[in-house]
Amino acid sequence: MRIADMLVGGRPTVSFEFMAPRDESEVDALEKTIAALAGHAPDWVSVTYRKATGDKTLELVTRIKRQYHIEAMAHLTCANTADETRRILNWMEREGVANVLALRGDPPGPGAPFQPTDPQLMHGSDLVSLIRGSGYRFGIGAACSAEKHPESPDLDHELRYMQLKVESGADFLITQLFFDNRFYFDLVRRASESGVELPIVPGLMPVPSRRSLAFMTSMAGATVPAGLESEIAAAADDEAVRAAGVRHCIAQCVELLEAGVPGLHFYTFNRARAPMEILAALRGQQLLTA
């Protein structure tokens, strides 16, 4: 089923991002996380992509669909040539994958420039164009930023690239992580004023640790609100940091759901505990159905 159709179904969807395992040492923890979160009946999930472990992404997506009967979307980046990308898409099509998240991909590290593999695939919009223009029937998701991305000069630049992805054939958008809902609401307003009417799903990360927070904010450019920053600074250990992150994410979700967002997408980092606690709180407040 196309995820875009779920996002206009009249109730907010719940979805999780899983990170494809880099090696065998990460497989067991990931399997336990998938099994635990599958029990919370997500509407769909996504699986990240790295060129070095691309086969694991594709295998995991198809297995989630077959074993858990959950719609699973494969991430795909501009890490391959156009011909290699078409071979991957052909494989997905044969295996019954229905949705692709078309991304440019991350640079090698904070501050480092992105290095394209193929001049035809410089940006996420190029990958959307390739998928749509090659006749594939996938539902296509694309990424956007609620705040100014570290690589962008300003928000107008961000908005133009979002428009390009939509014009190229994206069906829905997922934001990078953010901790202040004002940025999301402003993004939706600016998108609507520019003619972008696709569903924009907020991407949320319950803070797992100080180290993870520092890394992700440097990559995504997310602003940490003063209240959350103070709580984290005062936390005695990572467990206290995690608890503060869960409380903050619950508050974010409550406000977002009351505003009528199309769904909630959780960046899990292959951990199940925080998303489970958040969903339990939201269902306890009858903001989500069980």
The residues that are catalytic are 17
Classified as helix, coil or strand, 8 is coil
CA dihedral (143, 144, 150, 156) in degrees, to 10, reads: 140
What values do phi and psi take at 125, rounded to 5? -65, -30
What's the number of CA atoms in the CB half-sphere (13 Å) around residue 234? 8
- State both tokens at 28: 């067991």
Beta carbons of 20 and 50 less than 8 angstroms apart: yes
C-alpha distances out from residue 150 to 158, 161, 222, Å: 11, 14, 9
**Residue given tokens 């107008």 in the structure block:** 156
- Side chain identity at residue 190, one-letter code: R
- Side chain identity at residue 138, one-letter code: F
67 CB burial (10 A radius; 0-12, 13-18, 19+):
exposed
